[in-house]
Amino acid sequence: MINTVIFDMDGLLIDSEPLWGLAMREVFSTVGVELSAELASHTTGLRTKEVVSYWHNYFKWDAKSAEQVTDEIIEGVTARILREGRAMEGLHYILDFFAQRDFKMGLASSSPMRLIQSVLDHLQIGPSLHAVVSAEFEPYGKPHPAVYLSCAEKLNSSPLECVAFEDSVTGMIAAKAARMKVVVVPEVHRREEKKFVLADLKLDSLLEFDERKLELL
């Protein structure tokens, strides 16, 4: 029986994917790299250091270290989120939905913990979550299931008792590999990606989730 819900963060609870794109393009431009939105989509869902490593290997810049670029991107996106980050449609609805049913609630994100904490404070949703886990501290990031398994363990839940909410293919694969049920809420321009067929449910908004859909899982 499902009694636990685990949420991704970026692109699911907060509309931060465009802010990540802006911060990455801004910082990458300082090392002579022009990263289009199409190229940036190749690394959606990965940890920041993995994104930087991927593009460092591709473009071979030497003006700054990969570590410095990573730090500058995190600082840039954090500042943008605190200035203009907006909750995704249905954020408070979905938290209330599961709280009313006494679900254990967690967050499993690829973002570093300092950014996660900034988002939770900005959205004022920290008290709603019983466990918060960053893939920053895992040996592998998504699509490896480590961050989801760690979150389930912190919640004292079996993965088979969990439903994960995701917005990316990378995150969906991670949650499925952890043997969890998965609900995906993709960005508008990614809704037709065929890989999302692997999810148990696909929604256009968190507001679409209801008791009937919970019973389907």
- The pTM score is 0.90
What are the residue ranges spanned by the domains of the chain?
4-15+86-216, 17-84
Among residues 10, 96, 204, 210, the one annotated as catalytic is 10
**pLDDT for the residue numbered 73:** 92
**pLDDT for the residue numbered 136:** 93
Query: Could you give the strand order of the β-sheet that contains 162-166, starting from the edge strand earlier in sequence?
Result: 131-134, 104-109, 4-7, 162-166, 181-184, 201-202
Active site residue 96: no
Among residues 8, 15, 62, 210, the one annotated as catalytic is 8
Please determine, looking at this structure, whether the domain spanning 17-84 carries the CATH number 3.40.1130: no
Contacts of 62 (CB under 8 A, 6+ apart): none
With a cut of 50, list the residues of the chain below it in pLDDT: none
CATH class of 4-15+86-216: alpha beta
Active site residue 210: no
